[in-house]
Structure 1
Amino acid sequence: MADFDLVVRGGTVVTAERTLQADVGVRGGKVAEVRAGLPAGATEIDARGKLVMPGGIDSHCHVEQRSSSGVMCADDFYSASVAAAFGGTTTIMPFAAQHRGDSIPAVVDDYAKRAAEKAVVDYAFHLIVSDPTPQALQEDLPAMVKRGITSLKIYTTYELLRLKDDEVLDVLLAADRERALVMVHAENHEVIQWIARRLLERGHKAPKFHATSHHPIAEAEATHRVISLTRLLDVPALIVHVSGIEAIEAIRAGQKLGASIHAESCPQYLFLTADDADKPGLEGAKWCCSPPPRDARSQEAVWQALKDGTIGIYSSDHAPYRFDATGKLPHGEATTFKEMANGVPGIQARMPLLFSEGVGKGRITPNEFVALTATNHARMYGIAPRKGTLDPGADADIAVWDPQREVTLSASMMKDNAGYTPYEGRTVKGWPVQVLVRGQLVVDDGRLLAARGSGRFIPCGTPAPVARAGERRDNAAGAFRRLIDS
């Protein structure tokens, strides 16, 4: 009888902390042992010449989600999870989105049912809160935390999602009491609206003007404001999809002041620029997301922040909308930049892009790659050490990477339903050739082996935020907090 259900043999095992030549033995869906010379497994994968890494965790993606303007994402939980698996990701964390007037338990039940029926990788949920009523914050939020949803997202922009500053404070306080983490889309709504109105009045309707309206100062101001609110209460928060220099400097300044502020960025801010949306007609809508990609200097700033730890999370912010009336072009050829669905697909390309341009070009180490794409996510959202590592006892979520394989990205190879990729024609070096979830092969050299609905819900625990955020201190903010809580 074999000692292991599976042995991944002869590869270079890479985790966030170490690199070693070793075999990985799997038993009962868990990593059982990691060392060279393991006895035989009932099944074996030859990983000689390959890198054996934890499967990725994509902790920011929009799946089967209706936007506040009523537009449904192109992907359901099947197509999105298949695309994730083909890109080396074994756990996704999409959003259960509460729109104003929605019951939070009903929303979560609906998303949970869809995911259970369709997902082929494991999944957890964040909660979008757009209606922070006493019912939502005092009763529903504690109930969701008990169900394993320990993170929630709020917005400072979008008319039907944004919260006022006092509502942000209410959410921060409630989340901290429940030991949940608040994620924030930080852009100044009024600034964006003011610029957009003036652009449209002057006949500037093309997709490229989306980036003009979402000025870097709108992101920087809202980021600074959110950090100030977290400092008022001495509570942690995560600024999502950070796009460039101004917001990064606001985050660094907050961290230096002791704020427990954390940051995430995404492929579009490393590999796209605002110029990509400057295309004939409405073609540029395919490159429009919020915040928008900036310029080469901002790309470099994001790379530096990933390297020095200011930004500790690298997610896709996968928000796929088809290039038609159901998505990007609700008014056909008459659609203005202000009416397009905001978002780009990226769940499959996320990890190969970072590996190729980061590890392959010496910007980050393989260990930093694992931290940014998997381990830090697991720690941030309270699913470590079950996920994000290859230590004994962890789920056997494994991606075997061929570091020499070159792949040219194209819409035809993408498994999502967007119908296009903003990275069309880009060649990456390094690709996941086998992907396992809890010891079961999901993808084997381009073939999908997992059944619809084989993914499992992963309840999150207490977040343990990572990166260079300041330590929480018993200072004036703490005294103020005790005063208003007493």
Structure 2
Amino acid sequence: MRTLIKGGTVLSATGTSVADVLVDGEKIAAVAAPGVFGEADEVIDATGKYVMPGGIDAHTHMEMPFGGTFSHDTFGTGTTAAAWGGTTTIIDFAVQAKGTTLQSTLDKWHEKADGNCAIDYGFHMIISDVNDTTLKEMESCIGAGVTSFKMFMAYPGVFYSTDGEILLAMQKARETGSTIMMHAENGIAIDQLAAQAFAAGKTEPVQHGLTRPPELEGEATSRAIQLAKVTGSPLYIVHLSAAQALAAVAEARNAGQNVFAETCPQYLYLSIEDMAKPGFEGSKYVASPPLREKSHQRDLWRGLRTNDLSVVSTDHCPFCFEDQKVLGADDFRAIPNGMPGVEHRMDLLHQGVVAGEITLERWVETCSTTPARMFGLYPRKGVIAAGADADIVIYDPKAKQTLSAETHHMNVDYSAYEGFELTGRVETVLSRGSVVVSAAGFTGSTTHGRFLERDLNQYLS
């Protein structure tokens, strides 16, 4: 099956060009000047549209256990929603429970995802139980294509690791060339502040943000960077939200340390004011780290321009308002932490292009090319080039849309961006050469996606 995408503007992390793209089977066969290619089985006219590599969301949580419940998107519903939004690869997290092995954890997540994904997928491994067996199993995970390991400085008693445990895992990462991903918040101090607020009768959702101040994200980020420096380990800070944390990352990167960071759309567009909405509405916006004061947004956009923030992911972890968020109706500490977003990442970041915050090239770089390189998928993913998987998005930069829970495809009963009016919209999506989203709607299948064994981080110096 040969598909010709003609007349579009092909976007890459290094530039743009008007070109035709020839797809043969699951791969991109060639990219050439308009009119070079002959006949094809199917022709897609992309005149006036962008032709860009499919998005890679390197931080999602499908069917994740948290606080006695599970995030509401299955791998089937979540990856379908991702496809609607132009994301053609996700990297989800296999969550080690205390007392279990990494191998049994990986097996469990394969059971959840295999044969149930509309797009290709990989896994990171969450380490919550550091011991000799776990450290040894990091090597076998790498052999199985899971080359990054997430740890937590937050959530004592659940995911939290001590500095000593983090140091041991970082030493193994240095030995193997793998990457440690860090949820950097000072969970010990945060739990004290949260307990004090609750004891004082402060139970409303905004307390979640007030008891997780940005200084404690900055402190934990700095501490993680120092541990990485001592061990020589690569470090990737997940879902960075605060200017204090960004300053620590920038300082380390300026010194030549292998430190990287991502942010998420919610930190670019939403704020703690949303958590303070009347009644219990603010619970819809409870995630960790929390939404910050709007002043932090300026710094985050600047961080994206300077590459101190290398990637934009979603931390997609949806909990329904009606029957899950309400678990914390009388205690903000019990509100399930997480927000939906996998469907709208590409569109929301395009607003940064529209507003002049970032360039087209940076849009592609942060949403596709850099995560492909960072997590061992490039050049198979993240680029429009001969030999790459034909994961292609045809994007209409002039289309208008309004985000709403009534029209999104995520399996959650609210939108964090309800009523947002956006410029630009995904028109057609190909996953490994198959059209999965078009004017006809979703035409893919939840058996289409394949597990991706990943190589090591390509940015390590």
TM-score, scaled relative to structure 1? 0.92
Give the Cα–Cα distance (whole angstroms) in 2 for the partners of residues 190 and 130 of structure 1. 16
Q: 1:213: how far off?
A: 0.6
Alignment-mate amino acid for residue 320 of structure 2 = R
Task: Note if 1:30 corresponds to 2:38.
Answer: no
Alignment-mate amino acid for residue 456 of structure 1 = R
Task: Note if 1:422 corresponds to 2:420.
Answer: no
Q: 1:446: how far off?
A: 5.9
Give the Cα–Cα distance (whole angstroms) in 2 for the partners of residues 8 and 186 of structure 1. 43
Give the Cα–Cα distance (whole angstroms) in 2 for the partners of residues 360 and 121 of structure 1. 28
1:338 paired residue number: 333
Give the Cα–Cα distance (whole angstroms) in 2 for the partners of residues 262 and 57 of structure 1. 17
2:109 paired residue number: 111
Instruction: Give deviations 1:59-106, integer Å, cap 9, x for gaps.
Output: 001011112x33211010011001100110000001011011122212
Alignment-mate amino acid for residue 347 of structure 1 = V
Give the Cα–Cα distance (whole angstroms) in 2 for the partners of residues 308 and 418 of structure 1. 34
Instruction: Give deviations 1:247-291, integer Å, cap 9, x for gaps.
Output: 111111222333211110000110000001112221110011111
Secondary structure of 1:90's aligned partner: strand
Alignment-mate amino acid for residue 281 of structure 1 = G
Give the Cα–Cα distance (whole angstroms) in 2 for the partners of residues 131 and 119 of structure 1. 28
Output aligned runs, 1:385-424, within 5 Å.
Answer: 385-424=379-418
Q: 1:417: how far off?
A: 1.1
2:210 paired residue number: 212
Output aligned runs, 1:30-429, within 5 Å.
Answer: 30-35=27-32, 36-37=34-35, 38-67=37-66, 69-138=67-136, 140-159=137-156, 160-325=158-323, 327-330=324-327, 333-334=329-330, 336-355=331-350, 357-429=351-423
In the alignment, structure 1 segments of 5+ residues that lack a partner are 472-486
Using the aligned pairs only, state the percent identity.
37
Report if aligned partners of 1:385, 1:394 keep a CA contact under 8 Å in 2.
Answer: yes
Deviates more, 1:256-265 or 1:9-18: 256-265
1:10 paired residue number: 7
Alignment-mate amino acid for residue 333 of structure 2 = K
Give the Cα–Cα distance (whole angstroms) in 1 for the partners of residues 280 and 101 of structure 2. 37
Alignment-mate amino acid for residue 424 of structure 1 = E
Report if aligned partners of 2:377, 2:454 keep a CA contact under 8 Å in 1.
Answer: yes
In 2 relative to 1, CA 446–173 (structure 1 residues): closer, same or farther, beyond 3 Å? farther
Secondary structure of 1:317's aligned partner: coil
Secondary structure of 1:452's aligned partner: coil
Task: Note if 1:463 corresponds to 2:457.
Answer: yes
Deviates more, 1:154-163 or 1:254-263: 254-263
Report if aligned partners of 2:151, 2:180 keep a CA contact under 8 Å in 1.
Answer: yes
Q: 1:444: how far off?
A: 0.6
Report if aligned partners of 2:72, 2:318 keep a CA contact under 8 Å in 1.
Answer: yes
Give the Cα–Cα distance (whole angstroms) in 2 for the partners of residues 323 and 293 of structure 1. 18
Report if aligned partners of 1:381, 1:465 keep a CA contact under 8 Å in 2.
Answer: no
Alignment-mate amino acid for residue 165 of structure 2 = E
Give the Cα–Cα distance (whole angstroms) in 1 for the partners of residues 268 and 101 of structure 2. 37
Instruction: Give deviations 1:182-212, integer Å, cap 9, x for gaps.
Output: 1000000122112112211211110011110
Q: How many residues end up aligned between the 2 structures?
A: 458
Instruction: Give deviations 1:96-142, integer Å, cap 9, x for gaps.
Output: 1101112221221121122122100000100000011111111x211
Give the Cα–Cα distance (whole angstroms) in 2 for the partners of residues 43 and 102 of structure 1. 49
Give the Cα–Cα distance (whole angstroms) in 1 for the partners of residues 171 and 326 of structure 2. 39
1:484 paired residue number: none
Report if aligned partners of 1:265, 1:314 keep a CA contact under 8 Å in 2.
Answer: yes
Alignment-mate amino acid for residue 214 of structure 2 = P
Give the Cα–Cα distance (whole angstroms) in 2 for the partners of residues 366 and 410 of structure 1. 25
Give the Cα–Cα distance (whole angstroms) in 1 for the partners of residues 436 and 347 of structure 2. 17
Report if aligned partners of 1:262, 1:465 keep a CA contact under 8 Å in 2.
Answer: no
Alignment-mate amino acid for residue 146 of structure 1 = G
In 2 relative to 1, CA 290–129 (structure 1 residues): closer, same or farther, beyond 3 Å? same
Secondary structure of 1:204's aligned partner: coil
Alignment-mate amino acid for residue 295 of structure 2 = R
Alignment-mate amino acid for residue 260 of structure 1 = N
Report if aligned partners of 2:178, 2:234 keep a CA contact under 8 Å in 1.
Answer: no
Q: Which runs of 4+ in 1 moved over 4 A?
A: none
Q: 1:218: how far off?
A: 0.8
Q: 1:28: how far off?
A: 2.2
TM-score, scaled relative to structure 2? 0.97
Give the Cα–Cα distance (whole angstroms) in 1 for the partners of residues 428 and 62 of structure 2. 24
Give the Cα–Cα distance (whole angstroms) in 1 for the partners of residues 399 and 70 of structure 2. 35
